Amino acid sequence: MITDDQDGPFHDLDAFVALPRVEGLRLAPDGDRLVVEVATPGRENKGYVRALWEVDPAGVRPARQLTRSDEGESVAAFTPGGDLLFISSRPQPGVAADDDKPPASLWVQPAGGGDARVVASPPGGVRGVVVSADGTVVLGSNVMPSAAAPDEDKGVRDERKKAGVSAILHEEYPVRYWDHDLGPHRTRLLIADAGAGYELRDLTGHAGLALDDNSVWDLTPDGRTVVTMWTVAEPEGSQRQTLVAIDVATGERRDLVGDAGHDYGYPRVSPDGTQVAFIAERRSTQEDPGDSWVAVIPLAGGVFRALTDRWDRAPGQLRWTPDGTTLITMADDHGRTPLWRIDVASGDVTRITADNGAYSSFEVAPDGRSVFAVRAAVDSPPAPVRVSLDGEITVLPGPGPADLRVPGQLTEVTAAAADGTPLRAWLVLPATAGPASPAPLLLWVHGGPQSSWSGWTWRWNPWIAVAQGYAVLLPDPALSTGYGTNFIRRGWGDWGGTPFTDLMTITDAAEARPDIDDSRTAAMGGSFGGYMANWIAGHTDRFKAIVTHASLWALEPFAGTTDASFYWVREMTDEMTIANSPHRFADNITTPMLVIHGDKDYRVPIGEGLRLWWSLMSRQSKADEPTPHKFLYFPDENHWILKPGNAKVWYATVLAFLAHHVRGDDWQRPHLLG
């Protein structure tokens, strides 16, 4: 719904950060229960806390809250009998608290009602819970390398704590991931038999980084075999993803698929237990951005069969229909992320959803006639829906506000690039924008770089800016997903070339509209979008202000200090980094810049933000004149600003900076910044 309601949450940052955020979704085996995660601000606004809510799959009853705790819960799985398994680090009843935060434990809430209880609490926590049709449970847990079994892990940890040791000795790469250190513990797969009281048994033993933070696994229906991603080290600090099958009874492991030219991941075992569907990815090189497709392989082993190698889209999550004839996936497509079905026999792909939605976290109903998913869109926050396989969408009564209204309207802008390639962008407009009252324009560049403005975003929500009277342009330039491999190839190894000219071309098209004020514009971006913001700053003075968040400034040091250098150096050759590094054009910058960075950002390390800030400050020729630039620094945030209080400050500072430079208002320092 659209409104210019001055009392809505987009005009009030406190109300905005308090909005409930629907996330993960799980469906019971019989299809009668649907559970979603809902995140809301925790105590003292120090973070978001997730609770579990039950949603009526039939769409009749209102949603009801199932769990409440200060620590929060995340949905794990359902047992064959319908009991709900969830993960939480909340205190266990009857267990004395110590100085340490309890580990993330596995809890069960009986289907028939009653209190939840802990069924597994390994010292290294729990993640990736999968349950087979026979009730076998497989989960991941971090275990210290010297522990021979899970029950020895606590003793090793206690000894380390008593000795006051925090050091980590690394013998393999990588050492960090997004916002946390890797090690000294490593993930192992543990097996639990629900019928035997969920007693844990180590299935893999110490396997180094074979089971990394990205690893996903699945169980055969009979619970006899685990199929999992398995990371293999390569020369020169690299690694690749393979698939292996592990016998649950013996722990014997055998390779399913793996080779030096590809990565294989996200396995899903067929309902009859005979096949494994997965995503195959041709690895990128200096000249080639790579490609990905869905494939299947017999569980017994053999040659895999590519299903969607002729489909020019990048598939995401996979789910089988109960009869094993069809796979459901999602994939970006022209600024949307529809659901698609894949015929397993022919490989034919058919689009299911025809709307503007971006679908995620989906499950197939046991009758195979519909899919339950979380749906979002640029103008619609995530909400649970039921989608029939012929595309009919039913919004289910969820825990979020049913009448949330965005303060404007959504349209599209199109243009043709210099090479003739069609370009498009979403344009978010205030309700008041028109020829008599044209709106100032904000160009927002997405991260990735292989990504798309295809759905709702809480961290970079355009409606916050629209509520202040700005129009927001959300373009998909070269390197974006949803337009085919050649569209990515146009910008591969040439970040400052075609992506930049695409952005300027689509901005020209937006500025030509009578409802846009082309004399008052600004550019913004985070991550790769921050890179582009920095590049724009050094290559044009057309914008009144530039906001750059978690940005790449000097490509050569970034390539060696990010958390997954082995991936980036495939594209970032010496020649590429020299030609495309924004820091080389610092002398050209005349536009006021707001630099934003978090100290815990390991994907784009803080050194990038510090070096950019020094480049700007060291070029200030007069000490007695205030700098037009500003640096918003978050000591306790990472690549994303996640804490509700910090999110408010982020929005407030960005809006104040834009108001000063785009609208000409006096500078008003956000009061929470002192």
DSSP, residue by residue, 359-388: EEEEEE-TTSSEEEEEEEETTEEEEEEEEE
Point out which residues pair with 553 in neighbouring strands.
none
Of the candidates 580, 566, 608, which has an alpha carbon nearest to the alpha carbon of residue 493? 580
Contact (Cβ atoms closer than 8 angstroms) between residue 15 and residue 37:
no
Distance in angstroms (rounded) separating the CA atoms of residues 639 and 57: 36
Residue 668 CB coordination number (10 Å): 12
Regions of the chain short of the pLDDT cut 50: 1-4
Domain locations in the chain as residue ranges: 20-121, 126-153+171-306, 321-403, 408-673
Of the candidates 580, 604, 391, which has an alpha carbon nearest to the alpha carbon of residue 494? 580
Q: Which two tokens stand for residue 480?
A: 């974006």
Contact (Cβ atoms closer than 8 angstroms) between residue 89 and residue 120:
no
Q: Which two tokens stand for residue 260?
A: 């030096």
Fold for the domain defined by 408-673:
Rossmann fold (3.40.50)
For 126-153+171-306, CATH gives 2.120.10.30
Alpha-helical segments (H) within 22-117: none
Residues 6+ apart with CB under 8 A from 166: none
Distance in angstroms (rounded) separating the CA atoms of residues 407 and 429: 9
Distance in angstroms (rounded) separating the CA atoms of residues 31 and 382: 21
615's enclosing H/E stretch is: helix 606-617
If phi > 0 it is left, if psi is from -120 to 50 it is alpha, else beta; for residue 368 that is left
DSSP state of 497: S
Distance in angstroms (rounded) separating the CA atoms of residues 60 and 57: 8
Alpha-helical segments (H) within 338-476: 462-466
CA separation (Å) from 375 to 363, 450, 464?
12, 21, 21
Distance in angstroms (rounded) separating the CA atoms of residues 53 and 109: 13
End-to-end CA distance of the chain, in Å?
Answer: 37
For 20-121, CATH gives 2.120.10.60
Distance in angstroms (rounded) separating the CA atoms of residues 41 and 645: 9
Distance in angstroms (rounded) separating the CA atoms of residues 552 and 482: 24
Comparing 20-121 with 126-153+171-306, is the CATH topology the same? yes
Is beta strand 516-526 parallel, antiparallel or unpaired with respect to 439-445? parallel
Q: Which two tokens stand for residue 553?
A: 């400034």
DSSP state of 462: H
Contact (Cβ atoms closer than 8 angstroms) between residue 582 and residue 552:
yes
Q: Which two tokens stand for residue 11?
A: 């005009």
What pLDDT does residue 96 have?
A: 61
Q: What are phi and psi of 486, to 5 degrees?
A: -65, -30
189's enclosing H/E stretch is: strand 186-193
What pLDDT does residue 150 have?
A: 82
